[in-house]
Copies of this chain bind each other. A is one copy, B any other.
Amino acid sequence: MSDNTPDSSVRERAPRRMRTDARRNIESLLEAAKTVFSTAGVDAPAKEITDLAGVGVGTLYRHFPQRSDLIKAVIEREIDACADAAPALAAAHEPGVALAKWLDRFTAFVATKRGFAAALHSGDPAYDGLPGYLMQKLGPALESLLEAATASREVQAQISAQDLLYAVAKLCAPMPNEEPDYGRRMVALLVEGLRSGSSPH
């Protein structure tokens, strides 16, 4: 009752910022996981990751309570990187070229990171939020590129950003023993379909 310290009882005290060692360990883990995943796949044992990160298993599981949380975090980081590439491309190239280059960037991401396709198709509900995250982060980027490109008459847009995003994500997902440029060919075919069918049937 006699406690007049401002806010002490009404508002919880300002959360002290995360300890620097914790922040550093999270960073190390994400970096290590990215490396190990691309080397040995997303099913690599956790020990391999913690060893590379120079950290105990306990530390891994405090920050990423489920294995899938770590995988999700790594994938989301890479999605972010992809989104961040858009503004620079838009500034440096003609609209149509920027769009093409960004699609290449996205295609490379999907084709390279096996873990992404694996998570997406695993059926594990832990990854249900991934398409949403993809759309949320990459949708605006792609939309602005698409708009600029259509405005300058370089392409005719007949497909939503979401449809295109998902189609590329699926078509370019790596399959064993596949010709290297299969994904690109199919995407090109799809875009061809867009160009032609200017009149709906």
Contacts and interface: CB of A to CB of B under 8 A. Distances in A.
Given A167-B186, A186-B163, A190-B190, A176 B127 contact: yes
B196 A131 contact: no
Contacts of A196: 192-193, 195-197
B194 A189 contact: yes
Contacts of A121: 114, 117-118, 120-121, 173-175
Interface residues of A, number: 43
A116 to B, nearest CB: 9
Interface stretch (A59-67, A136-144, A177-185): A177-185
Interface string A104-128: 0000000000110110111111011
Nearest to A191: B193
A171 interface: yes
A131 B175 CA distance: 8
A130 interface: yes
A178 B131 contact: yes
Nearest to A196: B196
Contacts of A146: none
A125 to B, nearest CB: 8
Contact of A131 (B129, B176, B189): B176
Counting chain B CB atoms within 10 Å of each CB, the highest count among A132, A159, A170 belongs to: A170
Nearest to A116: B121
A41 B182 CA distance: 29
